[in-house]
Amino acid sequence: MLATALGVTIHAVDSHQPFLGELRRRAEDAGVGSRIQAHCMEMSDIPAVFSSIDLLWSEGAAYNIGFADALARWAPALRSGGFVVVSELAWLSEAAPAAARDFFRAGYPDMKLTTENIRLAQEAGYRMLGTHNLPRAAWIDDYYEVLEPRATTLASHQDAGVRALAQETLKEIEIFETAGGSYGYVFYLLQRS
C-alpha cells in the first residue's frame, strides 16, 4: 500500500522470512515489486542498516524490544523531522477488569496506558502528532473469528504444547470479549525532532 501510494522504494523488515516472501508475492501482484526491498533482520538492528529513514512504520513489532526501547533504538536511523507510526498494545482505561490485568501481567507485563506511552515517546525526543485506536472489529473480523474455531479444534490435540497454545488463545479471546474495551492496539504518529 505504501509503495503504491508514495511511489518510492520501501524497505520492508521482518525477522520471519516467510512473511517477507508473502510480501514479495503481493507486491509483484500489485505491480510494485520493484519498489519493495525485503530485509530479514531484527527490528532492533534497523540503525545498523539504515541511517536516514523518512517514515518508519511498525505494526505490532515494537513490543519485541519494548515500546520505549524501540523508539530510542530507532531514533538514530531517522532523519531530522522523520516520522514514526508505531502500534502498541495499551490499556485504554485504568478500570480494566482484574481478569484482563492478570492475563496481560503474565503475557505482556510491560503494557502501559496510552497516556504513559505518549509520555515515553516525548521523553525519547518525539513530537506526538496523534493517536488512533484500532477498532474492535479489527480484532474480530478475519482474526478472532478465524482463530477461535481453529483453537477450539486444537484444544484437544495429542501434543501438550499445541493444546497449551490453543487454550491460551481461547483464554485471550475470552478476556477480549469480557474486557469491555479496556485495552487495544493504539497507533502513535510521531515526529523526530
CATH code of the domain occupying 42-135+180-192: 3.40.50.150
Q: Please name the residue that has the C-alpha cell 525526543.
A: 125
pTM of the model: 0.90
pLDDT interval class at 60 (50, 70, 90)? confident
Q: Is 29 exposed, middle or buried (0-12, 13-18, 19+ CB in 10 A)?
A: exposed
Provide the pLDDT for residue 2: 87
Q: What are the sequence ranges of the domains in the chain?
A: 42-135+180-192
Q: Is 58 exposed, middle or buried (0-12, 13-18, 19+ CB in 10 A)?
A: buried
Provide the pLDDT for residue 1: 86
- Residue-wise pLDDT for 139-179, tens only, equals 999 999 999 999 999 999 999 999 999 999 999 999 999 99
Provide the pLDDT for residue 193: 86
Provide the pLDDT for residue 114: 97
Among residues 166, 146, 147, the alpha carbon closest in space to that of 156 is found at: 166
